[in-house]
Amino acid sequence: QVQLVESGGGLVQFGGSMKLSCAVPGLTLGYYTIGWFRQAPGKEREGVSCISSSEIPSFYTDSLKGRFTIFRDSAKKTVYLQMNNLKPEDTAVYYCVVGPEGSWNHWDWDGMDYWGKGTLVTVSA
């Protein structure tokens, strides 16, 4: 059973920064695309970002570009989502997911192989 260990959520002020971590000790990162979805209160789940097996990042929401960065540490088997200049509309539960190698091209929740339990990020105004 593959476990995704998410950490780093919490409360942050408007304009602040936060880094989410997703450790996947049971996998070799180079064989998967790993990333994040989020779901804000009362809204549909949306794709945030992922990093491919060849470490190419993708972002799926225009409002995040330039503020969020995704990277990985293969030795630690951990993917990080660095979030800067956070806004109240970034408040959501962030879910780490693991998908097949080419899933960055069609970043869909139902197409993932493994899902984390989610971590809440709250941005205060």
pLDDT in tens, 16-37: 999 999 999 989 989 999 999 9
Q: How many Å apart are CA 21 and CA 102, to the nearest integer? A: 22
Share of the chain above pLDDT 90, in %: 89
**Phi, psi dihedral angles at 76 (to 5 degrees):** -90, -5
> pLDDT grade, residue 65 (50/70/90)?
confident
Mean pLDDT (whole number) for 115-125 = 97
- State the sign of the Cα–Cα–Cα–Cα dihedral 59, 63, 66, 69: negative
